[in-house]
């Protein structure tokens, strides 16, 4: 007997799954039809196949957008009967984050990728011309693979994809649970699981669409390169491929740097780059794509490096798919902070990669002798020679990053193939203990070479460069770069000896290379381009690249942690043994108690909750005084926030806040807050009878009673008429040479009622009460307590990033340069076609 479930909204799911299947089928039709159009020798038959293929692709594009609409409709209306909706959204989620919940999980992100592929395909239908059929064959095949990720059906016992419209009660993990059999089970599901706290950020709204557009766009240079080999049209494909490859490099670079900006603004990496495996896996394809663009230019003007161009464009898309496998197979779960868990599609992702890698590289190898090449070797004074060398340097960088990032994959292969037992290996390959140094010690030299080559390459001519011409043109930029580097070195206080003096020397070499890249390319706009800025897209992009290198160098070399815990309050395992936080670089801020932090006095002034916002916002006031006059020279307030759970520090998900200056950023984030459900304080007050000049010792130091003050002024004491008040003026000295003042108050109100106002040294959790006056002994009674629970504080980390705007400005300049180059190439292609 079938159960009639109450309250379910089945239509959106049924429509969504129907369109997912339709997208899969129609993309197969488009792929086969485009393939037949390329293979057919009859012109009429070619056109017939092409018309059928266009119809199939348009239907699949419409279907993909329909799937998107159905899923978003279910999310917007909180239909928690769907597993995807329940798992990734909740009723309190702002509308702006519903899009984030759409692509927060694997099915939605694959759908987003498919949407961008559809958009690119529709553009190609209008612009592809003679390359439409072979290029669209590749793109349609990619849509087959992506559509299969959304099917969630079983074929020969193997589940193909994961259905985003799967009902919660039908999910495998819920089978056997009692509520599945209840017709009214939705009455017990009041809300969804919600979006991951770290993803509830505006960057999650804008970053994934850009990243997946960049992923989708890398198929364009791959498809054109594949089409060139497939159709044996080895040369002409480069004209339409060049604008697409520039667009793809621009989008992929933008996506990477948006991720870096997200990490800088909203995560707690302590910066914008941490060599996280997921970051690395997106950087590597960009390196190979840029290498391919430069070898393509070498071929365009000289006929050299065509085979290398094929290789770089093919490997770039394969690396994008490999990146997807790393991120979504769950294999990086122990080494990356933001990888997906495995949904059982690891094998499918590997098949997806093989579908493109095997035919692409098989054709390249099989037809390598047909690919045109020039027997004559390039001159070492030619631009194309050094373009090829630069491409090889980028490939070396990609190989080093990929090898280390793939250590979990190597371990899987070693275990799978039995190599471990064959050679009696005792343990898996361990990732580097200091990942930052592992990558930096190699990549810094690669960056130096690339910076130098970026500076000089444009001053060289294709085929050969007269020696005198080159030296005359490059002389002024070289001298100017040396002068600027010297000035920065002398007055900029570049000091990055974290890894020893040898690394510091590399820093200075990189400083020159970065400055050289900026100055030389800026000068080339006037020397080589005669001031024609519209034709200087490459130079502008190279200026941006130089600024990026310079920004990375300066911010890394001069980054300063100002939240130094000189009192060592956070020692003895405050953060726990598994925490990566350095306790000496975190400072406890008791509420309303100014604490010295670098040049600033910083005060935690409280926290608040905004209506409809799950975050807790912390009010942190910075104040800097003129050391000579004592006047306030600067003050501002930051609002770092955090998602909190009732598990205290264990449930803390912080988001930083920064103070932006032209020359620096002050970067602040919360690292710990008190546990809200602590047991009551068990510490007891200890009585001490003291006279002026006497000392009282406690665990972290001692205090001295300096004098007794009539009419004491204590913020917590409100005097009334008739009060007889005395304050105990105390000087507190700690083991770490810190000093504090205390003024507890004892008052007789109306000659009979005692008013005792304690005072506190919050950083020490020290409480002092003036409890009695002993006139016969000329002493007073003090009660002292060191609390074992202290609830009114935050622990915060603060860093100064000098000249961080050089980095972000370099990114913008590089993007502008790419756009200028794309426009220039598109106009040139149109002019030739006309």
Q: Residues with Cβ < 8 Å from 783, sequence gap 6 or more? A: 685, 686, 687, 688, 768, 769, 771
Pure H helices in 303-345: 306-328
Residues 87 and 174: their CA atoms lie apart, in Å, by: 13
Residues 316 and 318: their CA atoms lie apart, in Å, by: 5
Answer whether residue 340 shows pLDDT above 90: no
HSE of 315 in the Cβ direction (CA atoms, 13 Å)? 21
Query: Is residue 37 in a domain?
Result: yes
Q: Residues with Cβ < 8 Å from 800, sequence gap 6 or more? A: 559, 560, 562, 598, 664, 665, 666, 667
- The pLDDT assigned to 717 comes to 78
CA distances from residue 733 to 66, 567, 601, 696 in whole angstroms, order as listed: 71, 12, 20, 10
Query: Is residue 782 in a domain?
Result: no
Residues 565 and 7: their CA atoms lie apart, in Å, by: 57
Q: Average per-residue pLDDT in the chain?
A: 86
**SS3 state of residue 89:** coil
Residues 537 and 597 in one domain: no
**pLDDT (tens digit per residue) in 734-788:** 877 778 889 999 988 776 778 888 888 866 778 899 999 888 888 999 999 887 6
CA distances from residue 594 to 49, 622, 624, 701, 788 in whole angstroms, order as listed: 76, 9, 11, 20, 22
Q: Residues with Cβ < 8 Å from 249, sequence gap 6 or more? A: 286, 289, 290, 293, 818
Residues 384 and 69: their CA atoms lie apart, in Å, by: 49
Query: Is residue 598 in a domain?
Result: yes
Q: Which residues pair with 767 in a beta bridge?
A: 760, 785
Task: Give the pLDDT band (50/70/90) at residue 611.
Answer: low
Q: Which residues pair with 634 in a beta bridge?
A: 624
Residue 274 has φ and ψ, to the nearest 5°, of: -130, 10
Answer whether residue 72 shows pLDDT above 50: yes
Q: With CA atoms as reference, report the closest residue to 328 among 86, 107, 163.
A: 107
Query: Is residue 577 in a domain?
Result: no
pTM of the model: 0.83
Q: Sort 44 into a burial class: Cβ within 10 Å, 0-12 / 13-18 / 19+.
A: exposed
Answer whether residue 789 shows pLDDT above 80: no
Q: Sort 156 into a burial class: Cβ within 10 Å, 0-12 / 13-18 / 19+.
A: exposed
Residues 523 and 592 in one domain: no
- The pLDDT assigned to 738 comes to 77
Answer whether residue 286 shows pLDDT above 90: yes
**Quick one: what percent of the chain has pLDDT higher than 90?**
44
Whether the Cβ atoms of residue 335 and residue 277 lie closer than 8 Å to each other: yes
Q: What is the crossing angle of helices 132-148 and 10-39, to 10°?
A: 150
Count H helices and E strands in the chain, helices first.
Answer: 20, 23
> What is the DSSP secondary-structure string of 530-554?
TT-GGG-HHHHHHHHHHHHHHHHHH
Residues 17 and 81 in one domain: yes
**pLDDT (tens digit per residue) in 494-542:** 665 555 556 777 888 999 999 999 999 999 998 877 778 888 889 999 9
Q: With CA atoms as reference, report the closest residue to 208 among 113, 342, 73.
A: 113
> Which residue has better confidence, 474 or 611?
474
- The pLDDT assigned to 497 comes to 56
Residues 181 and 326 in one domain: no
- The pLDDT assigned to 744 comes to 92
Residues 321 and 246 in one domain: yes
Instruction: Count CB atoms within 10 A of the CB of residue 580.
Output: 7
> What is the DSSP secondary-structure string of 1-68?
-----SS--HHHHHHHHHHHHHHHHHHHHHHHHHHHHHH---HHHHHHHHHHHHHHHHHHHHHHHHHH
**Quick one: what percent of the chain has pLDDT higher than 70?**
90
- The pLDDT assigned to 168 comes to 87
Residues 16 and 112 in one domain: yes
Query: Is residue 636 in a domain?
Result: yes
Answer whether residue 822 shows pLDDT above 80: yes
Residues 535 and 478 in one domain: yes
Residues 244 and 224: their CA atoms lie apart, in Å, by: 9
Whether the Cβ atoms of residue 401 and residue 442 lie closer than 8 Å to each other: no
Residues 785 and 760: their CA atoms lie apart, in Å, by: 10
Residues 798 and 813 in one domain: no
Residues 306 and 134: their CA atoms lie apart, in Å, by: 19
Task: Give the pLDDT band (50/70/90) at residue 269.
Answer: low
Residues 768 and 757: their CA atoms lie apart, in Å, by: 9
Indicate the residue among 161, 195, 229 that finishes a domain: 195
Answer whether residue 251 shows pLDDT above 80: yes
- The pLDDT assigned to 646 comes to 41
Residues 214 and 150: their CA atoms lie apart, in Å, by: 21
Task: Give the pLDDT band (50/70/90) at residue 647.
Answer: very low
Residues 520 and 539: their CA atoms lie apart, in Å, by: 9
Total domains present in the chain: 5
- The pLDDT assigned to 707 comes to 92
Could you say which DSSP state residue 788 is in?
A: S
Whether the Cβ atoms of residue 298 and residue 384 lie closer than 8 Å to each other: yes
Structural domain for 546, as ranges: 454-558+804-834
- The pLDDT assigned to 648 comes to 36
> What is the DSSP secondary-structure string of 111-166?
HHHHHHHHHHHHHHHHH-GGGHHHHHHHHHHHHHHHHHTTT-EEETTEEES--TT-
Could you say which DSSP state residue 430 is in?
A: P
Q: Residues with Cβ < 8 Å from 140, sequence gap 6 or more? A: 27, 30, 31, 34, 53, 56, 57, 60, 121
Tokens read off for 87: 């798992």
Indicate the residue among 162, 195, 228 that finishes a domain: 195
Lowest mean pLDDT among 31-40, 169-178, 519-528, 578-587: 169-178
Helix (H), strand (E) at residue 757: strand 753-757
- The pLDDT assigned to 342 comes to 54
- The pLDDT assigned to 396 comes to 95
- The pLDDT assigned to 109 comes to 92
Answer whether residue 676 shows pLDDT above 60: no
Instruction: Count CB atoms within 10 A of the CB of residue 654.
Output: 26
* CA–centroid distance for 326 within its chain: 16
Whether the Cβ atoms of residue 746 and residue 771 lie closer than 8 Å to each other: yes
User: Rounded mean pLDDT of 270-287?
Assistant: 85
Residues 404 and 266 in one domain: yes
HSE of 319 in the Cβ direction (CA atoms, 13 Å)? 28
Residues 183 and 223 in one domain: no
Lowest mean pLDDT among 420-434, 736-750, 796-810: 420-434
* CA–centroid distance for 87 within its chain: 23
User: Rounded mean pLDDT of 225-244?
Assistant: 94
Residues 6 and 118 in one domain: yes
> Which residue has better confidence, 530 or 362?
362
Residues 182 and 221 in one domain: no
Could you say which DSSP state residue 380 is in?
A: T
Query: Is residue 436 in a domain?
Result: no
> Which residue has better confidence, 278 or 13?
13
Q: Sort 598 into a burial class: Cβ within 10 Å, 0-12 / 13-18 / 19+.
A: middle
Tokens read off for 700: 């972290």
Indicate the residue among 142, 171, 195 that finishes a domain: 195
Whether the Cβ atoms of residue 305 and residue 120 lie closer than 8 Å to each other: no
Answer whether residue 610 shows pLDDT above 60: no
């Amino acid at each position: 007997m079938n159960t009639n479930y109450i309250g379910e909204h089945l239509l959106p799911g049924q429509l969504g799954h129907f369109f997912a299947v339709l997208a899969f089928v129609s993309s197969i039709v488009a792929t086969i039809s485009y393939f037949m159009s390329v293979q057919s020798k009859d012109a009429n038959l070619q056109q017939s196949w092409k018309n059928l293929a266009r119809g199939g692709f348009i239907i699949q594009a419409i279907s993909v957008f329909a799937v998107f609409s159905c899923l978003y409709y279910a999310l917007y209306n909180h239909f928690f009967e769907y597993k995807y909706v329940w798992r990734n959204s909740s009723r309190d989620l702002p509308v702006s984050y519903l899009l984030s919940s759409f692509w927060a999980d694997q099915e939605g992100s694959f759908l987003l990728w498919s949407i961008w592929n559809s958009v690119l395909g529709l553009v190609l239908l209008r612009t592809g011309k003679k390359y439409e059929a072979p290029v669209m064959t590749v793109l349609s095949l990619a849509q087959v693979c992506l559509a299969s990720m959304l099917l969630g059906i079983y074929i020969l016992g193997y589940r193909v994809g994961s259905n985003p419209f799967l009902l919660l009660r039908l999910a495998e993990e819920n089978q056997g649970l009692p509520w599945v059999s209840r017709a009214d089970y939705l009455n017990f599901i009041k809300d969804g699981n919600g979006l991951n706290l770290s993803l509830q950020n505006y960057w999650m709204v804008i970053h994934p669409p850009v990243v997946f557009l960049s992923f989708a766009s890398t198929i364009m240079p791959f498809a054109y390169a594949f089409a060139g080999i497939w159709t044996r049209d080895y040369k002409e494909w480069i004209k339409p491929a060049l604008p697409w490859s520039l667009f793809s490099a621009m989008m992929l670079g933008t996506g990477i740097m948006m991720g870096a900006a997200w990490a800088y603004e909203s995560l707690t990496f302590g910066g914008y780059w941490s060599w996280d495996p997921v970051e690395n896996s997106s950087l590597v394809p960009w390196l190979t794509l840029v290498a391919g663009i430069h070898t393509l230019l070498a071929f365009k003007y000289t006929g050299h490096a065509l085979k290398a161009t094929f290789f770089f464009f093919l490997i770039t898309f394969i690396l994008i798919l490999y990146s997807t496998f790393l991120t979504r197979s769950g294999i990086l779960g122990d080494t990356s902070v933001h990888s997906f868990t495995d949904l059982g599609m690891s094998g499918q992702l590997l098949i997806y990669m093989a579908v493109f890698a095997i035919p692409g590289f098989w054709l390249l190898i099989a037809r390598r002798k047909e690919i045109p090449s020039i027997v004559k070797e390039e001159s070492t004074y030619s631009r194309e020679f050094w373009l090829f060398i630069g491409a090889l340097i980028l490939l070396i960088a990609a190989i080093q990053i990929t090898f280390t990032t793939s250590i979990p994959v190597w371990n899987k292969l070693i275990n799978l193939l039995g190599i471990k037992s064959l050679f009696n290996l005792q343990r898996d390959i361990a990732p580097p203990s200091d990942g930052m140094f592992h990558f930096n010690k190699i990549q810094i030299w690669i960056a130096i070479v690339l910076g130098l080559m970026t500076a000089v390459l444009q001053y060289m001519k294709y085929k050969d460069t007269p020696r005198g011409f080159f030296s005359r043109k490059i002389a002024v930029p070289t001298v100017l770069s040396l002068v600027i580097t010297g000035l920065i070195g002398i007055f900029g206080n570049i000091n990055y000896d974290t890894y020893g003096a040898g690394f510091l020397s590399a820093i200075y070499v990189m400083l020159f290379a970065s400055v050289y890249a900026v100055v030389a390319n800026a000068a080339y706009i006037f020397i080589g381009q005669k001031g024609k800025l519209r034709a200087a897209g490459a130079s502008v992009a190279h200026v941006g690249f130089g600024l990026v290198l310079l920004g990375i160098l300066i911010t890394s070399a001069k980054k300063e942690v100002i939240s130094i815990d000189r009192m060592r309050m956070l020692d003895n395992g405050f953060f726990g043994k598994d925490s990566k936080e350095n306790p000496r670089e975190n400072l406890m801020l008791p509420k309303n108690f100014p604490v010295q932090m670098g040049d600033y006095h910083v005060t935690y002034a409280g926290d608040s909750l905004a209506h409809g916002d799950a975050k807790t916002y912390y009010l942190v006031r910075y104040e800097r005084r003129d050391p000579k006059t004592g006047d306030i020279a600067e003050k501002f307030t930051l609002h770092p926030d955090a998602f909190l759970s009732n598990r205290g520090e264990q449930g803390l998900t912080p988001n930083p806040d920064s103070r932006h200056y032209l020359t620096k950023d002050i970067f602040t984030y919360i690292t710990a807050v008190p546990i809200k459900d602590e047991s009551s304080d068990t510490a007891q007050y200890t009585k001490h009878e003291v006279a002026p000049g006497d000392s009282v010792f406690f665990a972290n130091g001692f205090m001295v009673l300096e004098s007794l003050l009539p009419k004491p002024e204590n913020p917590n004491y409100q005097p009334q008429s008739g009060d007889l008040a005395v304050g105990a003026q105390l000087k507190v000295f700690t083991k770490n040479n810190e000093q504090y003042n205390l003024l507890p108050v004892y008052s007789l109100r109306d000659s009979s009622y005692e008013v005792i106002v304690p005072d506190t040294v919050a950083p020490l959790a020290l409480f002092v009460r003036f409890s009695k006056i002993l006139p016969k002994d000329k002493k007073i009674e003090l009660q002292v307590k060191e609390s074992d629970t202290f609830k009114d504080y935050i622990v915060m980390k603060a860093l100064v990033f000098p000249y961080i705007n050089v980095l972000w400005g370099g990114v913008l300049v590089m993007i502008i340069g790419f756009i200028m180059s794309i426009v220039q190439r598109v106009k040139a292609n149109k002019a030739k076609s006309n």
